[in-house]
Structure 1
Amino acid sequence: MEALLKPVSATYPLRQYSPYDERSKMLNCYLARDSLCFTARRRILMSYPHDIHRKWNVKKSFKPSALVSNEGDIEKLPHEKYISANNELSSKHVDGYPNIHLKKLETLYHFCRPYAMMGIQMVTLSVAFLPVGSIVDLSPTFFVGLLQIMALQALNHIYIVALNQLFDVEIDKINKEYLPLASGELSTRDIMAVSFLAIILSIGLVIMSKSPALLGVLVANFIYGTGYSADLPFLRWKRHPLLAVASTVFVCAFGVHIFTFIHIQKYVLGRPNLITKSIIFQTTMMCFYSLAGVILKDVPDMDGDRENGIDTLSIRFGQKRAFAIGLNVLYASVGFGMVVGASSSLWFGKIIVVLGNLALGLIFWQWSRQTDPTNKSSAQSFYQLAIWKLLSIASLLTHFVR
């Protein structure tokens, strides 16, 4: 009988099919006790490949667990080792990016708050076209001057955002933990490098342009960005509501509108300075929006501001009342726009400006009904829509006021 069993053992060795040493030993002991079970043994051995296939088929509901070694350590199965290695590889190729530098660039893109930058660029574009009297003015010189002011506004915006995140990192860890610096995606050194680069490029651009108006844009934005956020003596104006409002209206009037208009009118088109009704209207409208923005942006940020000693209208009056104040400022801008639009010398301009502002007011009213000021995401969504997205529409309406 031993002679009969040897060929079968040689033909079907247990270790060939079973990855489990303990199971192989148990089966050998069982067959050694009962040598008459040749047929049963053969069937068991022949069934091992199918048994193993069932255990390693990930489409089945059964999933093998890790083995415990003799030392008591958890030993990962091969598929678990593969998953672990794949996770490590995925961490190097974050979110599908084969190159870590591409991920860094996307982080920098979100760091710049593109929704705000887009709004500023749309307003700048609108102001730049106000001095244009005819199609003849749309010369290469005009577009070079337009690119200069838009590039400078973008660099100024990056500097303001960088300085704000550097000094507000502890606040952002509570209010906006998703921001690159608060979440750790970017380091303090990265933000400082971006801020320094923005300043150097801004100064170089102003020197190359030889435009005093662009120098005024740079100085106005530098004063605002530093004074609003920097935690230095007599600065950090954001801690006081009146200073925060005054500085924001100041940079809106001069850092975005007046100096941009002068740059295009005098230093690009070569005309004498003449403040028109349209630039006064647009500047006043945008100051309304800036005032509402200062109030509404603090509504979802009340927790972090309170813990870090930042006094805002949301902390003084509560989120619901502060939201109502900001909304009323937007309604005031709509009313002002309709009144000035009705006085336009262009008959079709009257209709467009009045109906356009009326539509903006209805959007504010409808969206505010769906907004919960005590909910961060809801209040933030309303702020981005009202201040930065609809701002572009409001700025375009000013071209029909004469």
Structure 2
Amino acid sequence: MKVVIAPDSFKGSLAAPRIAHIIAEEWRRTRPADQTVIVPMADGGEGTLEACATAMPEAVRHHLTVIGPDDRPVESSWLQLADPGDGSGATGIIEFAESSGITLLEQPLPFSAHSYGFGQVIRAAVTAGCRHLVLGLGGSGSSDGGHGALTALGARFEDRRGLPVGLGNSALRSIERVDVSAMHRPPRGGRVTVLSDVTNPLLGAAGAVRTFGEQKGITAATAAAAESNLKHYARQVQAALTADPDRPGAGAAGGVGFGLVAWGATITSGARAVGELLDLPAQIERADIVITGEGRYDSQSERGKVADHVRRLADRFDKPALLIAGQITVESTPFALRRSLADLAGSPEAALRSPERWLRQAVSELAQASASLPG
């Protein structure tokens, strides 16, 4: 049989490429005659770049130093896919977490953390000649509405004296004029695709601050100020660029989704777009069994996350889909077979202490059980 292996990462435990390799290795140990094809997946958040690099070894990785979310220099990178030969142009793949993510912060900086470094990487890809950009959002530690990224792209945000404002959420309240005359625009004839599974608007009860602010250090006492700063910023950006703060996804990555849409990007489902980029539908169509997984499969998983997207593709082509997750918190799932590392280990804590051990056991059990599947 041909087995397509397309897991997401197990957050805080194992990266998607490592998981895919372990599954393939253990599956072949139990069923040596089977052919395994690994397609590590991501939804646009942390791990997207590694998943794409693993699946597309011909891609060129460019390294650069940028200004991190707390002003310290950060080593970042982006992937360049060559022109496919039809004259459409090269594609640049960029991951927000690599240049401006929350893991780059030593401590939460709710009012000063920014997205400037992300904009620097985008600018580098545009300067290198990429006509198409794929921008993965997720893992943000800031709530600046994309102000930092737009600043790095050449937009000028001035205060009442005509001087540039600083960076971070607190600087947004000082903006009185936005000058985009020198801003690098999206490549002509190309497209900019933002990958995100977040549908929140920029502002309001479901917005960037109210929904995601706490994990970035915004408290109940400071939320109103952070929201007010973003609201003022949105009005100023709307006066200079076409942007809708109510658009689904505008609140992604602390509002970077809003800034990118203002720049000319389109937001789409991260899992679906990554899958198409990696030719996953064609791989699954030629498969006999499909295996996917994620760290925690819960009630939110069936809203477009990686495991759900892979399973829906398998359903489309009438292929059985198998699930491996660090933890499964719902009673029933629409998978042919499933295994939870936490159940095998006895608890989530035990599974986290030895994730590879329990992953191998889960794969072994699924490989044996797969003999009972139809076809």
TM-score by length of 1: 0.27
Higher relative contact order (CA 8 A, sep 6+): 2
Larger relative strand fraction = 2
Structure with bigger helix share is 1
Q: Which entry has the higher C-alpha Rg, 1 or 2?
A: 1
Q: Name the TM-score, length of structure 2 as normaliser.
A: 0.29
